[in-house]
Amino acid sequence: MTAYTDETAARALIVRTARSLFGRGLTHGSTGNLSVRLADGSLLLTPTGAGLGTVMETELSRTDLTGRHLDGPRPTKEAFLHAAFYRARPTAHAVVHLHSPHAAAVSCLGGLDPANVLPPLTAYYAMRVGTLPLLPYHAPGDSGLGPLAERTARTHHAVLLANHGPVTAGATLEQAADAIEELEETARLHLLLRGHTTRPLTPEQAAALAPALP
């Protein structure tokens, strides 16, 4: 997959994906943001204050790889986070950040392993997410998170922001959305199973399914 070459089609894809994620309760209000990398190297993002259930194709923002606003409405205040992932992962062409309820709930738990928050409970989680590092809390829009996110994204295409929510990158927007949905479902299972003895995949089983993602 190369960067998105048809901007009109990319805008339609962002809006269609945003509506799907919002309509299934994976984010709420004006939370969450999506982006794709265009062929000219610029990023097309959902704007600040926009609900993913109502954002329009004409309302998308454009930034460069530093997060600098180029045109359109003011971008999401987390544009720097998207830019960090793209700089770290040159073959990633889409980033999704949500406040999905179960993943956000897990991000608030104490005693988490910051190197890998969730166990590989299912084969699909092992395939689409792999390992999930936890990044320490930063206030929404705090650009101080950018350098840490960029370093972590060099070796992981998915992260969980403490007391906040997940971020995933993919070669396509569909791939990034699939990964964040699998992450949310595994977070839900993890919470359902708390207090029970679980049988996650073994390290060998998980390694055999590890995602070969950008």
Which residues on neighbouring strands pair with residue 69, listed in sequence order? Answer: 63
In the chain, count of helices (H) and strands (E)? Answer: 7, 8
Start-end of H helices in 28-172 = 79-88, 101-107, 123-128, 145-153
Catalytic residue, chosen from 7, 57, 59, 124, is 124
Inter-residue contact 201 to 207 (CB < 8 Å): no
Residue-level pLDDT at 213: 60
Q: Mean per-residue pLDDT for 11-37?
A: 97
Beta-strand runs (E) in 138-203: 158-161, 165-170
Whether 45 and 62 have beta carbons less than 8 Å apart is answered as yes
Mean pLDDT of the 7-35 span: 97
pLDDT for res 212: 73
The active-site residue out of 4, 59, 78, 181 is 78
User: Is the model's pLDDT at 188 over the cut of 60?
Assistant: yes
Give rounded-to-5 percent helix, strand, coil for the chain. Answer: 35, 15, 50
Residue 88 CB coordination number (10 Å): 18
Q: Which band of pLDDT confidence, cut at 50, 70 and 90, is reported for residue 13?
A: very high
Q: What are the tens digits of pLDDT across the range 98-151?
A: 999 999 999 999 999 999 999 999 999 999 999 999 999 999 999 999 999 999
Q: What is the pLDDT of residue 186?
A: 98
The predicted-structure confidence for 28-82, as pLDDT tens digits, reads as follows 999 999 999 999 999 999 999 999 999 999 999 999 999 899 999 999 999 999 9
This prediction has a pTM of: 0.95
Signed CA dihedral, 168, 171, 173, 177: sign only: negative
Q: Is 185 a catalytic residue?
A: no
Determine the pLDDT at residue 1: 65
Mean pLDDT of 178-183: 98
* Residue 182 is a catalytic residue: no
**Is 40:131 a contact under the CB 8 Å cutoff?**
no
In this prediction, residue 214 has a pLDDT band, given cuts at 50, 70 and 90, of low
The domains of the chain are located at: 7-208
Instruction: Give the chain's mean pLDDT.
Output: 95
CATH placement of domain 7-208: 3.40.225.10
